[in-house]
Amino acid sequence: MPKRSRSEKGKSIVPSSSSKSKPPFVSPQAEHRYILLSEKTIISGRCVILQDFEHLNIPHILRNNSLDQFMSIREPVYTSLIPYFYINLSFEGNKIRTRVLGRDIDISLQEFADLLHLSCEGVDVYSFDLQDFEYPAGESALTASTLLHGDDNPGLVRNEEVRYYTLTAQVLAKIAFYNLLPKSGEFSHARGTVPLLVYCLLRGIRDNIPRLLISYMTSDHVHVPTRHLPYGMIISYLLRQLDFDLSSLRPTDPSVNLNSTLLKRMQAGMRHPAPKLPHSSYFSCSRIFFCSGIIYSF
């Protein structure tokens, strides 16, 4: 995870001299947000070395969701620009607007998708989890749990520990943690949308990934003081795709790749057996779970 140098933190970026250059902030509120976000560490994201996961069918799974090129992006991170992208960012009526280096960005969700080699086809999973998703006919949260764990024990429907997933599901969860719904801190538990996203990938259900990304970018998540700013590598790549002149800025290297080294660590972790929970009927288990009032979120 690249960190900004002491010289970069809190330092405003002056746009290059141009008659078309605009102020760095789109509003006084954006200027206030800069004070809050400029000190945050940037989560770069990680390039996935697809061939290292061929035996787990990961490249095929990602291709089914038009994610293979996106996951292969490895880009230097312009950490000093990431806060500006966020403080000026808005998403309304399928239009993405922000301002970086005094230049406005105004693109449609489809253009955003095209620039990142993604597809807008598919369902919107951002606000859902395993319990409230509208499943294909004959499927349920138990079906999803069985696919995630390789075990039809209904007690696992409530499991959040990634180490009890199948190895393929673990890799997809790690990809989600780093590149799709980035998080800081521990990576041992999958909550909220992440298990649903992994299920959809395994099941071949296409997700609207561009909408997922921009929904997360514009969520309250980025303003929580203890959270880092996600998508550093993708935002830097987007700026380059939009022909921003970044030649005068010094980037930092992105985080290490997701590759066979990570895979070996996961395989070592799988030596722990899955918890042996009672095989009560699914309906009994799910009734207790749905009525519990528990809400899982990041």
Mean pLDDT, range 117-142, rounded to an integer: 96
What is the spatial distance between Cα 195 and Cα 184, in angstroms, rounded to a whole number? 17
What are the C-alpha distances in Å from 165 to residues 31, 56, 145, 266, 273?
44, 13, 9, 10, 10
What are the C-alpha distances in Å from 121 to residues 109, 124, 216, 262?
11, 9, 18, 30
pLDDT single digits (tens) 60-112: 999 999 999 999 999 999 999 999 999 999 999 999 999 999 999 999 999 99
Mean pLDDT, range 224-242, rounded to an integer: 95
57 pLDDT tier (thresholds 50, 70, 90): very high
Q: Return the number of other C-beta atoms located less than 10 Å from residue 256's C-beta.
A: 12
Max mean pLDDT range (76-80, 221-225, 274-278): 76-80
pLDDT at 171 exceeding the cut of 70: yes
**Higher-scoring residue by pLDDT: 251, 6:** 251
- In percent, the amount of the chain with pLDDT more than 70 equals 84
Q: Return the number of other C-beta atoms located less than 10 Å from residue 170's C-beta.
A: 23
Phi and psi, residue 4, nearest 5°:
-75, 145
Mean pLDDT, range 242-264, rounded to an integer: 94
225 pLDDT tier (thresholds 50, 70, 90): confident
> Residue 285 has what pLDDT?
39
> Residue 223 has what pLDDT?
87
